[in-house]
A and B are shown apart, each in its own frame.
Chain A
Amino acid sequence: MTWTWFHRLGSPPYIYALAARLTPWFAWPAALLIIGGLWGGLVLAPADYQQGDGFRIIYVHAPSAWMSLMVYTTMAIAAAVGLIWRIKVAHAVAASCAPIGASFTFAALVTGALWGEPMWGTYWEWDPRLTSELILLFLYLGYMGLRAGLEDTQRADRASAVLAVVGVVNVPIIHYSVTWWNSLHQAPSVMRLAKPTMAASMLVPLLMMLLGFTLFFGAVLLVRLRGEVLSRERSASWIREVVSA
């Protein structure tokens, strides 16, 4: 087997074209899954035995929270790859991840607050899970701030990559916070070793939403990546060909 396919991934024109080709393969299934998942979750799924209809916010909250961690992990891995093997495209991936991850984190915090008010009796509580998720938002903002503060793209890439890698310590803390401390937040229902603690009629739409959000992230990442590659390579000759074509 040759490694040419891998080396081609480091080439901006190839990535630009590949991202364009792949985007619909992520976007359409994402749209179908999210529509189906919302229909299943908000209409077909029965009300919860304890929380009634209020539990339905889980169909937005849990996938957002899950994505906030998954996007950070993706960003840190891309940053580490860029740092170690000096692949520019990897840095472009990491840079494209940050605003998406920050948005998912914000969405998870807001939907969590809206869910917490009726169920727990409070919008916000300085609970380990909530606090560590808030720290994640600040990490994303710090990453974006550092990139904005450094004018030289190459230096911004490498410095922000160090920050992204250092911030990874927070990811397991967020995930296990509900297990390590006895917290107000409930334990995971789906992301656990044992069987999910959710009736199948409620679980299926949730899994559709999880997959839909993941694919949606893929689609948005590809679109952002194209923009990132375009702006980084703005003086390259292949851009002129792409634009004039």
Chain B
Amino acid sequence: MTPRRRRMVLVLGIVGGVSIAGALALSAFRQNVTFFFDPTQVAAGQVPAGERFRLGGMVTQGSLHRAPGSLEVRFVVTDFSHDVPVSYTGVLPDLFREGAGVVAHGQMRHDGTFVADEVLAKHDEKYMPPEVARSLKKRHGESRADGTAPPSTPSSGDTQPPAAAHASPPSAGT
């Protein structure tokens, strides 16, 4: 082979290989490669029975109940199409709010309750002073608990079901 032709083959080979790898990765991402499962996936039975997994979603407004005299809490995690009740014993992180995102580690019980042994709060990428958050909330006429709900979107952007999260452009960029 002449050097020129050899270089052509090399470049074509690299382009071809990288495209095949990219296509495989894209196809994988279309299915479920997630850090956590959302309630819809749980309802669809994508989580194998008896396996420990991470459950992610939003805490439903008004669903938080504390058992008196103990650290046990119950709340409902939702992705606005399906709900999963969660029970947890322990200290909740500071940012745990109704209407905000959570990721919980644990296991499904037979009665359909998710028993968590660790609850993490997931916050979004929006930062603003409290006054601005309050006035935005007033303008949108939303009556969420304590200003935790981000102003313009129904769900806080980052805790949407993954299909929507993949489709939403705002988190792309350099």
The answer to whether any beta carbons of A and B sit under 8 Å apart in the complex is yes
| Distance in angstroms between the alpha carbons of A182 and B100 in the assembled complex | 15
| B123 contacts partner chain A, Cβ-Cβ < 8 Å | yes
**Which residues, 163 to 200 on A, are CB-close (under 8 Å) to B?**
175-176, 178-184, 186-189, 191-194, 197-199
Chain A residues in 8 Å Cβ range of B63:
none
Interface of A is mostly: loop
| A202 contacts partner chain B, Cβ-Cβ < 8 Å | yes
| A145 contacts partner chain B, Cβ-Cβ < 8 Å | no
| A51 contacts partner chain B, Cβ-Cβ < 8 Å | yes
| Distance in angstroms between the alpha carbons of A192 and B147 in the assembled complex | 25
Q: Chain A nearest CB: distance from B7 CB in Å?
A: 14
Q: Chain B nearest CB: distance from A243 CB in Å?
A: 43
Find A49's partner among B33, B129, B158, B171 (CB 8 Å cutoff).
Answer: B129
Q: How many residues of B contact A (CB 8 A)?
A: 45
Contacts A181-B33, A192-B171, A194-B173 given; does A46 touch B125 at CB 8 Å: no
Chain B residues in 8 Å Cβ range of A191:
173-174
Chain A residues in 8 Å Cβ range of B174:
175, 191-192
Chain A residues in 8 Å Cβ range of B34:
181-182
Q: Chain A nearest CB: distance from B168 CB in Å?
A: 9
B90's nearest neighbour on chain A, judged by CB, is: A121
| B118 contacts partner chain A, Cβ-Cβ < 8 Å | yes
| A128 contacts partner chain B, Cβ-Cβ < 8 Å | yes
Contacts A184-B103, A186-B158 given; does A120 touch B95 at CB 8 Å: yes
A199 close to B129 (CB less than 8 A): yes
| A153 contacts partner chain B, Cβ-Cβ < 8 Å | no
Contacts A121-B93, A128-B35, A179-B172 given; does A201 touch B129 at CB 8 Å: yes
B125 close to A189 (CB less than 8 A): yes
B170 close to A192 (CB less than 8 A): yes
| B56 contacts partner chain A, Cβ-Cβ < 8 Å | yes
Contacts A193-B173, A194-B170 given; does A55 touch B127 at CB 8 Å: yes
Q: How many residues of A contact B (CB 8 A)?
A: 39
**Which residues, 67 to 119 on B, are CB-close (under 8 Å) to A?**
92-97, 100, 103, 118-119
Q: Chain B nearest CB: distance from A152 CB in Å?
A: 29
Contacts A119-B94, A183-B35 given; does A198 touch B127 at CB 8 Å: yes
Chain A residues in 8 Å Cβ range of B131:
46
| Distance in angstroms between the alpha carbons of A133 and B151 in the assembled complex | 31
| Distance in angstroms between the alpha carbons of A211 and B93 in the assembled complex | 33
* Per-position binary interface string of chain B over residues 155-174, scored 1 when its CB falls under 8 Å from any chain A CB and 0 otherwise: 00110001001100111111
| Distance in angstroms between the alpha carbons of A136 and B89 in the assembled complex | 36
Contacts A191-B174, A193-B172 given; does A119 touch B121 at CB 8 Å: yes
| Distance in angstroms between the alpha carbons of A187 and B134 in the assembled complex | 23
Chain B residues in 8 Å Cβ range of A175:
174
| Distance in angstroms between the alpha carbons of A220 and B124 in the assembled complex | 34
B120 close to A121 (CB less than 8 A): yes
- Most chain A C-beta atoms within 10 Å of own C-beta, residue among B34, B92, B131, B173: B173
Q: List 14 A-B contacts (CB under 8 A).
A: A46-B131, A49-B132, A50-B147, A55-B127, A119-B95, A119-B121, A182-B35, A182-B162, A186-B123, A186-B125, A187-B158, A197-B127, A199-B129, A202-B127
